[in-house]
Amino acid sequence: MKCLLIGSGGREHALAWSIAGSALTDELIIAPGSAAMASLGTCVDVAADDLDGLLALADRIQPDLVVVGPEAPLVAGLVDRLEAAGHAAFGPSMTAAQLEGSKAFARLACDRHGIPQPGFTVCDSLETATVAIAALGGACVIKADGLAAGKGVVVADSEDEAVQAAGEMLDGRFGDAGRTLLVEERINGPEASLFALVDGEHALFMGSAQDHKRAYDGDEGPNTGGMGAISPAPRLTAELQQQVMDEIVLPLAKGMADEGTPYRGILYVGLMLTETGPQVIEFNCRLGDPEAQVILPRLRSDLVAAMQATLDGTLGHLSLRWDDATAVTVVMAAKGYPGAYEKGSVIDGTHNLDGRDDVILFHAGTSVDPDGTLRATGGRVLAVTGIGADRELARSAAYDAISTIDWPEGFCRSDIAAR
Ligand code: AMP
Ligand code: GLY
């Protein structure tokens, strides 16, 4: 098969690694990809948000399968446009991607289909938000409805804090993303993420992970895209996993199919494991970053075959095999991230990892000079995945690898997957 992969980050490097390793793949083209991905496929300089450019590229190269990595083009309707032009594209339609693109859409869908979640009120004025906040006594969560790069959520401790956050969002702090907001009941418990392939009707467990969203050790500092992850998610037991599939993923898939907006692709379910059972915190319409960097290395089955079965509607006949090992990925970010940071600093020593079978290095934001010098070009720059028989071994493989990388302008958390 000729596969076209859209995206350029660490998640897409992991996807490229899996797709290139598939027995079904003859050729991999990546738009735009990165220097690090050039050893896995041919990179073509079309940006992931250039929908017209991507469509023209697909028309020109006629891929057998298009895989969309990031959420923005999915929410903007790339899959609908590719399908209308006759291309097979893996990922949800624009309407189904609203599960991530609009938190109100997701909450209302869960409500209609009886899926466990915190209480919520959709608000588009400060008056309705203030009433909803007062009804919860101030312990609530304020969320911008639209995509806000992970920054549109405020977990409030008091009514004043909640009302102020709501006011700022409605005043346009996140642009149009916050013109509608949600006031949610604040629930408690450990968090975990479950991934599922959904073909409209059937759903198949596609791994679990636990993310580390805060920038610094001890879960301190600002929220980020993710500073590290472990798979499987330590607290998501086999029973809980089955419960999430039965009570959340399957009813949602069936409900969306019945309403004429079937979900096709990978569904990312962000969960809180409360005393009364798992509840939905959020959905994403794609693999996570850096969750892909721990899930895909554990997948023993062929990813391209699984994606093909998702498009064919034959997931009901498929089962996936997983490695028993644990994977831990630690993100190396530029100092300053998620705020302002310098670009262009030199990273040395990554060749020390060549040939190691307990470590995979995924690049999230690097470039390579003509003389081979590796440079940082993004906020999150490297994701170093360690693989081991248990959490401790996987963790030490990742941190041991990081100790051999020389990058004074970078930092990482030292407590990813620590107890
Ligand atoms: P989200 O972007 O919706 O995943 O929210 C970001 C973070 O806010 C989550 O990872 C949770 O830690 C927290 N959060 C979101 N919704 C709630 C809620 N209803 N109750 C408690 N914490 C929440
Ligand atoms: N790591 C969180 C996300 O991909 O949304």
Taking only the tens place, the pLDDT of each residue in 48-93 is 999 999 999 999 999 999 999 999 999 999 999 999 999 999 999 9
The share of the chain scoring above pLDDT 70, in percent, equals 100
> Which DSSP string corresponds to 17-71?
HHHHT-TT-SEEEEEE--GGGGGTSEE----TT-HHHHHHHHHHH--SEEEE-SH
Pocket of ligand 2 (CB under 6 A): 211, 225-226, 284, 288-289, 291
Residues 6 or more apart in contact with residue 48 via CB below 8 angstroms: 6, 7, 8, 31, 32, 54, 69, 70, 72, 73
Out of 231, 289, 294, 416, give the residue to mutate to test ligand 2, the one with the largest number of ligand atoms within 8 Å of its CB. 289
**Residue 282 main-chain phi, psi, to 5 deg:** -160, 165
Assess whether the C-beta atom of 318 lies below 6 angstroms from ligand 1: no
Whether residue 384 has pLDDT greater than 90 = yes
Protein residue with least CA distance to atom 3, ligand 1:
282
Nearest one of 117, 135, 129 to 154, comparing CA atoms: 129
**Confidence (pLDDT) at 182:** 96
Protein residue with least CA distance to atom 4, ligand 2:
288
**Confidence (pLDDT) at 147:** 86
Identity of the residue numbered 80: D
Whether residue 172 has pLDDT greater than 90 = no
Taking only the tens place, the pLDDT of each residue in 185-200 is 999 999 999 999 999 9
| Ligand 2, atom nearest to 229 Cα | 1
Assess whether the C-beta atom of 187 lies below 6 angstroms from ligand 1: yes
Distance 153 CA to ligand 1 centre (A): 7
User: What are the structure tokens assigned to 99, written together?
Assistant: 């599960």
Out of 102, 145, 153, 286, give the residue to mutate to test ligand 1, the one with the largest number of ligand atoms within 8 Å of its CB. 153
Looking at every residue in the chain, the average pLDDT score rounds to 96
Nearest one of 260, 160, 241 to 203, comparing CA atoms: 241
CATH class of the domain at 119-184: alpha beta
Burial 167-204 (b: 16+ CB within 10 A, else e): eebbeeebeebbebbbbbbbbebeebbbbbbbbbbbbb
Superfamily of domain 326-411 in CATH is Phosphoribosylglycinamide synthetase, C-terminal domain (3.90.600.10)
Instruction: Give the domain 2-91 fold.
Output: Rossmann fold (3.40.50)
CATH class of the domain at 191-317: alpha beta
Protein residue with least CA distance to atom 3, ligand 2:
288
| Ligand 1, atom nearest to 118 Cα | 19
User: What are the structure tokens assigned to 163, written together?
Assistant: 């009302």
Would you state the torsion angle of the CA atoms of residues 346, 351, 357, 361, taken in this order, to the nearest 10 degrees?
20
Distance 372 CA to ligand 2 centre (A): 31
Taking only the tens place, the pLDDT of each residue in 105-139 is 999 999 999 999 999 999 999 999 999 999 998 88
Whether residue 150 has pLDDT greater than 80 = no
Domain positions in the chain = 2-91, 119-184, 191-317, 326-411
Ligand approaching nearest to the C-alpha of 146: 1
**Confidence (pLDDT) at 403:** 98
Protein residue with least CA distance to atom 5, ligand 2:
288
Exposed / middle / buried, residue 393 (Cβ in 10 Å: 0-12, 13-18, 19+): middle
**Confidence (pLDDT) at 94:** 98
Q: Once rounded to an integer, what is the mean pLDDT over residues 338-346? A: 96
CB neighbours (10 Å) of residue 316?
11
Whether residue 401 has pLDDT greater than 90 = yes
Are 117 and 164 spatial neighbours (Cβ–Cβ below 8 Å)? no
